[in-house]
Structure formats: C-alpha cells, structure tokens
Amino acid sequence: MPPGGPRMSESFGRLQDAISLSNDGLVDEPQPSGATGARSYPYHHPVMAGVTTSLDAFGVLGATILCTHVEPTILMGNGHVALPLADLMSALGFLMIPKKRSLLYIPNILHISAQVRYLTPPLVMGALLHFVVLYMLHRPTAQIIALSLVWLGICAATLCVLRGGEILILQHPSATRHLARNIAVIGSDEVATKVAARVAEEAGPTYRMIGVFDDHDTALDSTVTDGTLDDLIARSRESRLHAIILAIPPSSDPVDHVAEISWRLRSVLSDVYVMPNVVHGIDVLLPIERLGPFALLVLQRRPLSEWQIVRKTMLDVVLGATALAMLAPLMGLIAIAIKMTSPGPVFFRQPRLGYNNRNFMVFKFRSMYANMSDVMAARQTSRDDPRVTRIGKWLRRLSLDELPQLLNVLRGEMSLVGPRPHAPHTRADGMLLDDALAEYVIRHQVKPGITGWAQVNGARGELVTLDDLRRRVEFDLEYMQKWSLRFDLKILALTVLREVFSKHAF
C-alpha cells in the first residue's frame, strides 16, 4: 500500500483511473463499423441546470395552484379544506425528493427518455403523498384516487410544456453557441495537439476549442500552435474562456513547471486543468473531473460558477434598481447642490480596472473643482485635500458621491458588493498596484463593487504603504472565497451601519 494509508491508496487509484482514461483519449482507435463521427460527451452546464430545476419548481407550484381551482369543480363544488393541504404536500414532495443530477447534463436534457427518468420518480412521490394526506383525513377512496390523478396529470402536462419549450430553445444554433464552453490547450508537442484535436472533433457542440498555446515565451513551432502563453492571457481579456488544459511534456521537475504556469495564469478568469500523467506525488489529491473525452486534475477554479454569477447578478439588478428608484430624489438634490456651488459637470467619470482586467468608466458625483480633477488618479485623494469642494467634503464623508455607481451596476460593469475598483495609475508606496503585490490581479476575477468586505472592515481610503494594499487585498480574496448571497446582504447591511459615517471617508 502506498504511504499515507487507505486515503492515499484511494487517491492513487483515482489517479491511475484518470491516467488510463486520458491515455485512452490519446490513442488513435479505429472507428467501429457504421460510426458516424463525433460523440456527444455529457456537460453539466451550471446555468442550464439551475434554470431547469427552477422551471420545474415554478411549473409544479403553478400546476398545484391550478389544482386548487380545478379539484372543487371535479367534486361538483363540494370542496374541502384538505385539498390545498394535500396539493401543497405533493408539491413539496416533488421538490424535496433527490434527483439524479446527471440527467440535467447537456445533451441529456434533449432526450425524452432522460426527461422521463428524471421527472417520473418525483411526480409519483408527489401523487403518493397526495393520496396519503387525503386518506389520513378520511376522504372517500374513489375521490382520493381521482384527485391524486388530477394533480399528477396537471403537473405532468405543465412540465411537458415547459421542458418542450426548453428543448426548442436549446436546439437553436444561437443557444448552442452561447452555451458552448470555450477551451484552450497549453503545450507544444504532439500530446497537446492530440488533446486539442480530440476535444474539437469528439466533444460535440457543448465544447469549443479555441487553440493550442505554447508554454514557452516564444512559440517553438508557430505552424502548430496559435501563440504563446502571453497571447492566451491577452485573448482571455477579449473573450470568455471557461477551461484551460495543461498538456505540457513531463519534465524533470513537473510540479515546479506546473506551478510556474499556474502562477502566470492567476489573473485569467478560467478553470485550469492538468493532464494527470504530467504530475505526481501530492498532486494526486487534486479533484478529478471529466472534460469531454478526458479525465483531468483540477488545478484552479474560478471563484464563482456560472450559476453563482447568475444569482449574484439577479441580486444586483433587483436591489440596484430598487435603490436607484428610492434614492432618485436625493440624487436630484445632490446634483442641484453641486451645480450651485461650483462650475462644471455633475458627474465625474473615471476609467477603472474591473472584471477580467477590463477597463470601464465609473460614475461618481463630482466632489472636486472641475479644473483640478485628476482623471487618471496620478495623485490619490488625501484628508483635507484642497481640490475637494465644500459640498464634496460632505459627499465623500457620507459616501454619497458613490451613489451614481448604481448606474454601473445596472449596466453590468459593477456589482453592489465586491472589491473596490482602482484607477489604472493608482500607486502604493510609489509602485503600480499590480507591480506592488502579485496577488492584486486576482481581485479582478469577480466584478468590482460599490462596497466590499475590505471597506466594512475599515480598509478603505488612501493607499499609502504596501501594508495598506496587502490588508485590502487579503479582505478581497477572503470575500471571493466565502462568497454567498447571504454574505453580500451582510456586507450591504454593515455598509449602512459602519461606513456612512466612517472616520476613514474623506
């Protein structure tokens, strides 16, 4: 048995299985007689899984409400208080029964047999609960059977309509293109090109191969690769990149080689996988995931999954629009006060570095004299800064100058909660922020926020020393690791309680 006991032995076994699966994917096997080409590998798209389960929930709840109106009609107006209770218990039974998540994989959603296997058990369980509740309340047996079948029929018909509409949408070419997962391969030898070829040819429409990129500073063979690692990093800023596969040749020190590449990819918003035959030792403890025709070791995850991003965006849109509507009168008064006290525009627009290292224009109420505004933030605002107007001092002290950033939230450039964005020329201890601290760029893997975990913990204001920057980044990375909707709501509440009259605001 390998050192480390049963757990390490199990990890070695999983690693050997992964290596076997990956190596099988690199072996040129003859196609069986009658084969037609590409295979379709399961792909669990988090957003589609969430959308499908949400549609099921709303469909069953809507069907249950409909049942409460239909069932008394079947009983010739002889309704009973037990009917809504039985309907509710049936709906809860449908929602709570465990379901096989693999049947939510694309393209399983497109297969009727998979739909039946997924929906039949919870529907039957709901109908049985309906029968049991009415039986315990001593309803006549004939009525119990009829009412249970009515609930089952209405729910099944509703789900058929919803799933049918979903299938029609998923089969549309534009939906396929939008849901496809973009994959890049890093490597420079035959293994990398074979991995890319297998994904491109066999993984079906759920994956899209964007190229092979050399892990060297200069491409060894520009006819085989699509660029270098730096080219891949630059390309990730322009288009979505969901997965990167490290298919580099095994070296004398593979752990250091993989660690070096992983560190260079720290700012790239993508999941990073490594071929299991590249690494060894403690790396066998890394999670193993199937990606198209390969089993790979998970080296790095994006901080938020697609479904988590959808949930966070929904919170931003709902609360952001509500806050903007409620604060519109106050914002109007602030605009009038700014125009009356100093010449110049009401809003101050400044470039900031945001999500996935992309620049955007942030909106703020102008708090400085127009002829003294520092658009590129070559000089940070300090306490008792002479450039700040009289009304601007109060706006900054009460953090009201940040209110126009609700527009950035609704435009999708910012979130209500996240790391605060900085101007590209902002410095700490005389150095640009990404030069001063290597971990700084990791903050850009989530949308910047109007407020954040660092701000409610007092890490705000002018960045003077490297310790100021390091403390702020530590809070930002902690937020990314602990993210949840509840955590966002907690930070919003703490912002109101702690930061409106913060001693750090100026």
Residue ranges of domains in the chain, CATH in brackets: 47-173 (no CATH), 180-302 (3.40.50.720), 307-501 (no CATH)
Residue 75 has pLDDT above 80, yes or no: no
Per the model's pLDDT, the better-predicted residue between 352 and 43 turns out to be: 352
- The closest of 459, 402, 388 to 428, measured between CA atoms, is 459
pLDDT at 396: 85
**What is the CA angle 451-455-461, rounded to 5?**
110
Average pLDDT, the chain: 81
Band of residue 405 on the pLDDT scale cut at 50, 70, 90: very high
Band of residue 217 on the pLDDT scale cut at 50, 70, 90: low
pLDDT digits (tens, 9 = 90+) for 266-300: 889 999 999 887 766 545 567 888 777 788 888 88
The encoded tokens of residue 65 equal 């409400």
Q: What is the pLDDT averaged over residues 302-307? A: 87
Band of residue 72 on the pLDDT scale cut at 50, 70, 90: confident
pLDDT at 366: 92
Cα gap 246→215, rounded to integer Å: 9
Q: Are 399 and 500 in contact, with CB atoms under 8 Å apart?
A: yes
Per the model's pLDDT, the better-predicted residue between 348 and 290 turns out to be: 348
- Give the start-end residues of each E strand in 101-249: 181-186, 207-213, 243-246
Range of weakest confidence among 341-350, 381-390, 408-417: 381-390
* Cβ-based neighbour number of residue 97 at 10 Å: 14
Q: Are 459 and 485 in contact, with CB atoms under 8 Å apart?
A: no
pLDDT at 34: 37
One-letter identity of residue 38: A
pLDDT at 453: 95
Q: What is the pLDDT averaged over residues 355-379? A: 82
* Cβ-based neighbour number of residue 259 at 10 Å: 13
Q: What is the pLDDT averaged over residues 138-154? A: 86
Band of residue 412 on the pLDDT scale cut at 50, 70, 90: very high
Please, which contacts does 470-476 make with residues 24 or more away whose CB atoms are closer than 8 Å?
Answer: 470/437, 472/420, 473/437, 473/439, 473/440, 473/442, 473/443, 476/419, 476/443, 476/452
Q: What is the pLDDT averaged over residues 116-136? A: 88
Cα gap 131→152, rounded to integer Å: 11
Structure pTM? 0.75
Q: What is the pLDDT averaged over residues 53-82? A: 76
Cα gap 351→226, rounded to integer Å: 31
Q: Are 499 and 451 in contact, with CB atoms under 8 Å apart?
A: yes
Please write down the HEC assignment for all residues of 309-376.
HHHHHHHHHHHHHHHHHHHHHHHHHHHHHHHHHCCCCCEEEEEEECHHHCEEEEEEECCECHHHCCCC
Residue 10 has pLDDT above 60, yes or no: no
SS3 417: strand
**What is the CA angle 312-315-316, rounded to 5?**
85
Q: What is the pLDDT averaged over residues 320-329? A: 95
**Which helix or strand (DSSP H or E) is residue 298 part of?**
strand 294-300
Integer CA distances (angstroms), 111 to 24, 268, 426, in order: 27, 35, 53
Per the model's pLDDT, the better-predicted residue between 470 and 283 turns out to be: 470
Q: What is the pLDDT averaged over residues 300-307? A: 87
> Alpha carbon 44 to chain centroid distance?
14
Please write down the HEC assignment for all residues of 37-58.
CCCCCCECCHHHHHHHHHHHHH
